Each structure stands twice: as C-alpha cells, then as structure tokens.
Amino acid sequence: MAADRFIAVTGGVGGAKLALGLTQMLTPDEVAFIVNTGDDFEHLGLHISPDIDTLVYTLSGESNAEAGWGRRGETWQFMQAMKQLGGETWFNLGDLDLAMHIERTQRLRKGATLTQVTKQLATALGVQFAVLPMSDAPVRTMIGTANGELAFQHYFVRDRCAPAVTGFRFAGASSAAPTREIETRLDDPALAGVIICPSNPFVSVDPVLSVPRMRERLKQLRAPVVAVSPIVAGTAIKGPTAKMMTELSIPNDADSVARHYRELIDGFVIDTQDAALEPAIAALGIATVVTQTVMLSLADRRQLADDVLRFVRRLNANA
C-alpha cells in the first residue's frame, strides 16, 4: 500500500477550517489531528480546552458558523445567572458548551487522560477522526507583555489581545511528552506527510512544537512537513497573529511565517495574493504552492485541503 496517511497540526478556528476540509477528502484512517492544548485553562473549577472543542465542534457539525466559535444553537442562561450572582463572566461559557467542560473535568478527575477523554467526547458527538491533544501533561502558553506575563486566556479573551506582546513561554513543556497515540502515528511507515494548518505560529503551533521530542520528531521524518500560511496579504485571517508580528518587529508577511518554520518544513502554501513572495520563500530552500487559502465556504475548505494534499503527496513522492 502506498504511504497515504496524514497528520495535521492545528490550533482553533483558523486551523479547524482546513481540518474540516481534510476530513472531507480523507477517511478517519487516513488523517489524525494533533491539537494545541497550550491555551487550555482551569476556569470556575472546570478544565477548558478551547482548541480541542473548536475542532470537535467543527468536525461534528456542532459549531456555530455565524459566530466563528462555540456551538450551534448555543444559549447563555448560565452566563446571565453568573452575572446575577457576581461570578466571573469574562470568559463566555454557553449552556451547551458547559456540558463539555463539566464532563471533561469529571472524567479527568476520575483518572482518565486528556487523550482518552477527548476521544470519548468526540465519539459521543459523532467524530470518527482522531483528535489528539498535543500532550496529556499540562503545557500552558504564557504571553510576555509590556505589563508582565499573562496566562493565554487572560491575554486573549479577558484583555482582548490589547497588551503589546514581548514573547512567549510554554509553562510545563519541559515535563510534557508526546502521547503514545501521537508517537504511534509519527512512527507509521504509511505516513505521507504532516500538515501545519493555518493557525497562529506563536500561540497555536509553537506550543505543540514545545513538547519535548515533537520538533525533533517532525524534523527527522522521512515524510514532508508542509505549512499553510495564516498570513495573507499582510494580515491574519483570524486572531492576533499579525498584531503579534508587528509587536515582535517581524514583518507581517507570509515569508516571515515561512522563515519562522524554516528548520521544520519542506513545503509552504501561500495565497494567490502573496504570489510575489514565492521567490523569497523558494530561496529559503522551501518548496511552495500558490493557491487560494482564504476559506469562506465549505467548497473553499475542500479545495484547499485538496491542494495541500496534492502538494504533500508530490513532495513525498520526490523524497
């Protein structure tokens, strides 16, 4: 059998769009997702895994397409009651979404791993694809800012990405490890390539790479690693990537993202709007594909997934 299994590394909303496209082109046997858990946090006594939930809701058809996050048909009675009680309300927790956090927290307390719980909950929502937390150990993305270090959700949600970013730290990473489920897939001789979804390189992908052995394992793979630029025409489709790059004095260009991933990737996918950057990226020794990467419709997601898969297969055949 030809090598035709894939791993995709993803954060939240932006990455989940391509992930959905990939699930339209591949079977659950053919693609698994490694998901950022660096923005997981404990809130109101609950273990919240925003990126895992975004992916699970997206793949199960439970996501709220209008809002771009959270669940379809979500209601906010709990939040209203919390406000009335004087509780913390800076992080929105929908009535449906709460079930995920409460059930996850319960199962973790009873001793299950995050990998096991994620599999159980995803399966309950009808997701057959493997949704793999980057680690079962806590790794927490901390944002260095001019006002001091902030936990990711404090920076991202509570403070709405306002503080200027000075750097990042992945607390706990040194004592984390890739899970057996991830190791097994990286060892799979049928692995045709790894796709880094168009997620924030600093706070969605780098946390995954901060897990010990992860970066080295990806570098040493025989199969190609391909990233899709989250920066198009100098701006981020979603989230604070471009703002962070400005604050870190990194040019807001797709080729800066390519340079960021330089030691890791074999190929890089950029948008047609950034076609002029192709020579600069090629000069880094990175193969490129130029295509439409902005995913508005489901057809866009399928098309980008198809383009990326062709690219990975081509690189793999040439490897």
Contact call for residues 232 and 254 (beta carbons, < 8 A) = yes
> How would you class 299 by CB atoms within 10 Å of its CB: exposed for 0-12, middle for 13-18, buried for 19 or more?
exposed
Q: Which helix (H) or strand (E) holds 30?
A: none
With the CA atoms of 211, 215, 217 and 222 taken in that order, what torsion angle do they form, in degrees rounded to the nearest 10?
A: 150
Residue 91 binds to a copy of itself (criterion: CB under 8 A): no
- Please identify, using beta-carbon distances, which residue of 45 and 189 lies nearer to a copy of itself: 45
Single out the segment in contact with a copy of itself by CB under 8 A; choices: 32-40, 90-98, 181-189, 269-277: 90-98
The least distance separating a copy of itself from the CB of residue 108, rounded to whole angstroms, comes to 10
Cα gap 63→53, rounded to integer Å: 9
Residue 114 binds to a copy of itself (criterion: CB under 8 A): no
Task: Give 189's Cβ-side CA count (13 Å radius).
Answer: 2
The least distance separating a copy of itself from the CB of residue 86, rounded to whole angstroms, comes to 5
Residue 121 binds to a copy of itself (criterion: CB under 8 A): yes
Residue 75 binds to a copy of itself (criterion: CB under 8 A): yes
Query: Rule CB under 8 A: which of 55-74 touch a copy of itself?
Result: 71, 74
Residue count at the site for a copy of itself (CB under 8 A)? 31
Cα gap 127→31, rounded to integer Å: 13
Rule CB under 8 A: choose which of 1, 2, 65, 85 binds a copy of itself. 85
Rule CB under 8 A: choose which of 3, 25, 30, 82 binds a copy of itself. 82
Contact call for residues 231 and 199 (beta carbons, < 8 A) = no
DSSP 128-194: -SEEEES-SS--EEEEEETTEEEEHHIIIIISTT-SPEEEEEEETGGG----HHHHHHHH-TTEEEE
Residue 97 binds to a copy of itself (criterion: CB under 8 A): yes
Rule CB under 8 A: choose which of 65, 86, 111, 263 binds a copy of itself. 86
Residue 125 binds to a copy of itself (criterion: CB under 8 A): yes
Binding residues for a copy of itself, rule: CB under 8 A, are 44-46, 71, 74-75, 77-78, 80-82, 84-87, 94-100, 102-103, 105-106, 109, 120-121, 124-125
